[in-house]
Structure 1
Amino acid sequence: MSSFTEKIKKVDPRDAKLGMAHFYVAFIGLFIGGMAGLLQTLVRSGQYTLPAGIGYYQLLTLHGVVLALVMTTYFIMGFQLVAVSRTAGTLSNKQRTTAWIGFWLMTIGTVMAAVMILLNEASVLYTFYAPLQAHALFYVGLTLVIAGSWLGSAAIIMAYVAWRKQNPGQPSPLLTFMALVNTLMWVVATIGVASTVLFQLLPWSLGIVERVDVAVSRTLFWYFGHPLVYFWLLPAYMAWYVVVPKIIGGKIFSDSLARLSFILFLLFSIPVGFHHQLMEPGIDAAWKFLQVVLTFLVIIPSLMTAFSLFATFETFGRSKGATGLFGWLKELPWGDARFLIPFIGMLSFIPGGAGGIINASNQMNQVVHNTIWVTGHFHLTVATAVILTFFGISYWLIPHLTGRTLTKAMNKLAILQGVLWAIGMTFMSGAMHAAGLLGAPRRSAFSEYGGAAQAAEWIPYQIAQAVGGSILFIAIILVLYIFINLAFFAPKGEEEFPVGEAANLAEKAPMVLENWKLWLGIVVLLIAFAYTIPFIDLIENAPIGSKGYKLW
């Protein structure tokens, strides 16, 4: 084994400290957001009233912002930074300092936004649409979070560039390549939300301007909002493609296929925000149709990923002597939480992806739009496929970074946690999907919305959501217990940071996949093509309410 490989086998303690700082905030966010989610489900069941003047929409905002924006962003930034450190070499002092500054900017911004939500000065939901208005400090906090994430992203980009300079003509390590793709997608996407916050919502909340263009604000948000989904998802894909094969003792089916799928996500994830606005006026139907088509193209890398993963599993099983159509399933390490928890996440992404196709289809979207079906969809994709995979990553990454080991007892507890999560989410997300088909609205507390008879029809599903939410909160308590144990109390030792090898080591990934002038150029062209004309139309031909003479 080369000295370079030895050098990067374990994450440097300085980089481990940086990663753990991100994970501490992420898991604190998990507890706060999980508590808010539990209280929401209890209120929706009609069996619980919030104490001390706490508002339902205050809770809803806290739950969405802390879990969908704070917890995920911190975990992803921490994971990607240590993944780059592990595979491309220890971060330089400049790179590490840049990432630390980014972390503290994000943290200051998070505290500012959280305080405003807790004071009920920013109950604007995690989408913070105008004409709902929050306190200016909420928007300042969001701006700092975005700016901080850009600095963390800069550290990853600098590390990649440094590796390429030291290894000319060689494809970068797969995990580093994947982290870079997700980072580039995040930077391009956040330009939209940064624009609406800095140039519309913040001046409006400060009283500098009297009105904002609502349609433009929503369009800028969803320019960011859809790639945000893939920013959540791609780190899970990183674990599925690269880490899980090593855990089971197999090989990565194809290094090049994995890289190509990530490039396709980069191309097709950003210029598709209009499919979240299919029911909105001011956007020509032809442009909505175009973006629906572009959205469906994302199905291709998703299917490539499914093929690659199950090819890896089957190849491994066959190597162990498995026969028959599904005999290889018996050979997989079902007793290993590092494999089982992400695998449950993979399975949940199958119905989650199917629901996404429905949401992006113009006609079917009209049936479920703004119903709690959409909330159920997010809980299948983000809150199950992604978050369970993040938990699976934590069970080996936290002890790796803290110099401890995953014990058999913690492994069994982790399996119990994953199973409880799957059961709880089956109750909650399943009930949300069913109630959504009956017309139950999203973003609303328990009420006789739509009439007493219809509200009564939704009650059993809302109670099922409360049952599922309660089970999920128990699973969150278990996750936090395991995290604290692995961070502070588990036996000292060395836990592996698993990085798989390609099945065909002679296969060299085409260097065209690392031609960033080409790929970013195509991204810019796709964005310009998908947004320029409809955006101009939106401003020039917007209805009076949207143009700002009055708010709606």
Structure 2
Amino acid sequence: MIANNRLLFSKKEARLYMAFMYVTFISLFIGGLMGLLQTLVRSGKYTLPFNIDYYTILTVHGVILGLVLTTYFIIGFQFSLMGKTVGISDKQLKVAWLSFWVMIVGTIMTAVTILVGEASVLYTFYAPLRAHPAFYIGLALVIIGSWIAAFVNFRQLYVWKKAHKGQKSPLLAFMVTINMLMWFIASLGVASSVLIQFIPWSLGYVETINVLMSRTLFWYFGHPLVYFWLLPAYMAWYALIPRIIGGKLFSDSLARMSFILLLMFSIPVGFHHQLTEPGIDPTWKFIQVVLTFMVVIPTLMTAFSIFATFETTGRKKGYTSLFGWFKKLPWKDVRFLAPFIGMVAFIPGGAGGIVNASHQMNALIHNTIWVTGHFHLTAATTVILTFFGITYWLVPHLTGRRLTPKLNKLGIIQTFIWTIGMAIMSGAMHIQGLLGGPRRSNFSSYAGGEQVQMWVHYQLAQAIGGSILFIGILLMVYLFIQLAFFAPRGVEEYPIAEEEADAEPTPKILENWYLWVGITIALILFAYTIPVFDILKHSPPGSVPFDWPIGR
């Protein structure tokens, strides 16, 4: 059915979207518990029971939260956006369920291999670390399932456009299509690496693996992955938050242009994660650093648009003083507060990203826990708090319940708990990283050495922050259960903002998919063709023996 923000979903649709939400919050609990154990071990105050390996829980934490939670939430949320704006047919619904079950099978395969100690290869699964073949096959199935979801979304927009010839596509449907296009193009890299390199190597069909090529293909995917997480947050900021604060969409054209720019400049930039690696010509590293900094433009466009929405909404309500509009924003509404704190966290998070992508400064913090702190500011604060803010209205809308004043208050408490815990943990990570503390390693048991002992102090601070965060996770899981099963029956609005009545028409060129996808592919070919040929020509295929210990 073709729906809008005043209509409820059918029960069949709601079941699909909620299925993704259930996996999301199960993942939040499991991944959060692993994160808590990880910080406690690093503090030197706790030893894992039953001979559980530290790197096993580190891998579970990264994979479950960085890949499983985010992917399931995003796909479920985006399915709901498409259902609201362009509709979904029964046939598309069946294919969407197929995507879910393919991803579930892959997720279970991957999780089991990690939990039994056969895949302690961390979130990045760099060679020469080698996992059980089922780990890589599971990853491939998760990616294939997500591709099925992407093509359902593409089909939904195509059908709508065919039925509404000459009309501008709904903004949120346009945004979802951009995000899934980016995901599909980017995940081709990691999929080819897994299928062509890792699976044959792990099965014993080949004895060696080209390590540099595998890392290059991973980071071709790894940086766009960050934007795959971030763009759904942008969707909420641009087109949902204005409705929550009682305003309207600031500029449809600006929103579409920013997403187009993010599509073009988020993929051909992977080398800025490989600035310290040999085998890649420095010229190409520099070119990709320049392309990386191009994403500053759509980021600033987004910041301008969001705060322009805040100000114009406030002034329309009669607040004429310089910052009167700011003081009168709905601070007691968790649907607004959680995403807003996520927006604020993106300021230091973005500044840290500039450090990471810069040649000279990257040399200082590369492979230190500064990078982990940055990751927790952007993904675990900006993105996750926005996802939490979405959950407070999406889940009750899907389940036919209401966000009550009591649950809203608990949500505000959860938001502050999360913010405080993350500020402590991420702040300690940043400081320890500037002092040279390495990422991924557990130094709590090292004896002697003034620098190591100094690192341990900051690891203790991380454990304190992690413990506070776990309290926030327990509260969020409780809120999800309440909103899904126990909150009073009612109707919770799906808050899609309307465009201003006198808004300028959106240029048709912004929906010229051939043009923007063509430019994106051209940039990718420009940034990667010669470096990849150089890697294939000059680097050896690898000297990693097949009997390298599994998982370590």
- Cα pair 1:8 1:87 within 8 Å, conserved: no
Q: 1:216 is matched with which residue?
A: 213
2:227 to 213, 226, 230: 230
Deviation sequence 1:259-279 (CA, Å, 0-9, x none)? 100000000000000000000
Q: Which amino acid aligns with 2:67?
A: L
State the Cα distance separating 1:451 from its structure 2 match. Answer: 5.9
- Cα pair 1:84 1:179 within 8 Å, conserved: yes
Deviation sequence 1:387-439 (CA, Å, 0-9, x none)? 00000000000000000000010000000000000000000000000000000
Deviation sequence 1:108-133 (CA, Å, 0-9, x none)? 10001000000010000010010000
- Cα pair 1:342 1:385 within 8 Å, conserved: yes
State the Cα distance separating 1:503 from its structure 2 match. Answer: 2.6
Q: 1:478 is matched with which residue?
A: 475
- Cα pair 1:273 1:291 within 8 Å, conserved: yes
Is 1:363 paired with 2:331?
Answer: no
- TM alignment of 1:88-103, pairs within 5 A: 88-89=86-87, 91-103=88-100
Q: Which amino acid aligns with 1:481?
A: Y
- TM alignment of 1:107-146, pairs within 5 A: 107-146=104-143
Taking structure 1 as reference, are residues 54 and 168 closer, same or farther at Cα in structure 2, changes over 3 Å only? same
2:542 to 515, 530, 548: 548
Q: Which amino acid aligns with 2:314?
A: G
SS at match of 2:51: coil
Q: 1:9 is matched with which residue?
A: 7
Q: 1:57 is matched with which residue?
A: 55
Q: State the distance in 1 between where 2:501 and 2:302 align.
A: 17
Q: State the distance in 1 between where 2:148 and 2:6 align.
A: 23
Q: State the distance in 1 between where 2:7 and 2:355 align.
A: 43
State the Cα distance separating 1:310 from its structure 2 match. Answer: 0.3
State the Cα distance separating 1:548 from its structure 2 match. Answer: 1.7
Q: State the distance in 2 between where 1:427 and 1:377 align.
A: 13
Q: State the distance in 2 between where 1:203 and 1:142 align.
A: 14
Is 1:375 paired with 2:372?
Answer: yes
Q: 1:82 is matched with which residue?
A: 80
SS at match of 1:507: coil
1:389 to 386, 389, 401: 386
Q: State the distance in 1 between where 2:509 and 2:451 align.
A: 57
Q: 2:524 is matched with which residue?
A: 527
Is 1:193 paired with 2:190?
Answer: yes
Q: State the distance in 1 between where 2:236 and 2:290 align.
A: 28
Q: 1:19 is matched with which residue?
A: 17
State the Cα distance separating 1:197 from its structure 2 match. Answer: 0.3
Q: Which amino acid aligns with 1:330?
A: K
State the Cα distance separating 1:11 from its structure 2 match. Answer: 2.5
State the Cα distance separating 1:7 from its structure 2 match. Answer: 8.8
Q: How many residues align?
A: 546
State the Cα distance separating 1:323 from its structure 2 match. Answer: 2.8
State the Cα distance separating 1:448 from its structure 2 match. Answer: 6.4
1:321 to 315, 318, 321: 318
Q: State the distance in 1 between where 2:504 and 2:9 align.
A: 27
Q: 1:29 is matched with which residue?
A: 27
Q: State the distance in 1 between where 2:113 and 2:441 align.
A: 21
Q: Which amino acid aligns with 1:28?
A: I
Of structures 1 and 2, the one with the larger relative CO (CA 8 A, separation 6+) is 2
SS at match of 1:52: helix
- Cα pair 2:402 2:492 within 8 Å, conserved: yes
Is 1:150 paired with 2:147?
Answer: yes
- Cα pair 1:12 1:85 within 8 Å, conserved: no
Q: State the distance in 2 between where 1:405 and 1:463 align.
A: 40
2:435 to 426, 432, 438: 438
Q: State the distance in 1 between where 2:218 and 2:226 align.
A: 13
Taking structure 1 as reference, are residues 328 and 211 closer, same or farther at Cα in structure 2, changes over 3 Å only? same
Q: State the distance in 2 between where 1:7 and 1:246 align.
A: 10
- Cα pair 1:111 1:141 within 8 Å, conserved: yes
Q: State the distance in 2 between where 1:118 and 1:6 align.
A: 43
Q: State the distance in 2 between where 1:177 and 1:11 align.
A: 20
SS at match of 1:503: coil
- Cα pair 2:70 2:229 within 8 Å, conserved: yes
2:451 to 450, 454, 479: 454
Taking structure 1 as reference, are residues 5 and 37 closer, same or farther at Cα in structure 2, changes over 3 Å only? closer
- Cα pair 1:20 1:78 within 8 Å, conserved: yes
State the Cα distance separating 1:6 from its structure 2 match. Answer: 5.9
Deviation sequence 1:465-489 (CA, Å, 0-9, x none)? 0010000000000000000000000
Q: Which amino acid aligns with 2:197?
A: Q
- Cα pair 2:43 2:444 within 8 Å, conserved: no
Q: State the distance in 2 between where 1:462 and 1:295 align.
A: 31
Q: 1:351 is matched with which residue?
A: 348
Q: Which amino acid aligns with 1:308?
A: S
State the Cα distance separating 1:156 from its structure 2 match. Answer: 0.6
- Cα pair 1:146 1:194 within 8 Å, conserved: yes
State the Cα distance separating 1:509 from its structure 2 match. Answer: 1.5
Q: Which amino acid aligns with 1:548?
A: G
Gap regions ≥5 residues in structure 2: none
Taking structure 1 as reference, are residues 9 and 510 closer, same or farther at Cα in structure 2, changes over 3 Å only? farther
- Bigger Cα displacement from structure 2, 417-426 vs 163-172: 163-172
- Cα pair 2:183 2:225 within 8 Å, conserved: yes
2:402 to 388, 401, 405: 405
Q: 1:72 is matched with which residue?
A: 70
Q: Which amino acid aligns with 1:243?
A: L
Q: State the distance in 1 between where 2:248 and 2:24 align.
A: 31
Per the normalisation by structure 2, the TM-score is: 0.97
Gap regions ≥5 residues in structure 1: none
Taking structure 1 as reference, are residues 159 and 8 closer, same or farther at Cα in structure 2, changes over 3 Å only? farther
Q: State the distance in 2 between where 1:258 and 1:449 align.
A: 51
State the Cα distance separating 1:450 from its structure 2 match. Answer: 10
Q: State the distance in 2 between where 1:492 and 1:283 align.
A: 59
State the Cα distance separating 1:325 from its structure 2 match. Answer: 2.3
- Cα pair 2:3 2:83 within 8 Å, conserved: no
- Cα pair 1:8 1:86 within 8 Å, conserved: no
- Cα pair 2:5 2:494 within 8 Å, conserved: no
Q: State the distance in 1 between where 2:446 and 2:151 align.
A: 47
What percentage of residue pairs aligned between the two structures are identical? 64
Q: Which amino acid aligns with 1:496?
A: E
Q: 2:41 is matched with which residue?
A: 43
Per the normalisation by structure 1, the TM-score is: 0.97
Q: 1:279 is matched with which residue?
A: 276
Q: Which amino acid aligns with 1:126?
A: Y
- Cα pair 1:98 1:154 within 8 Å, conserved: no
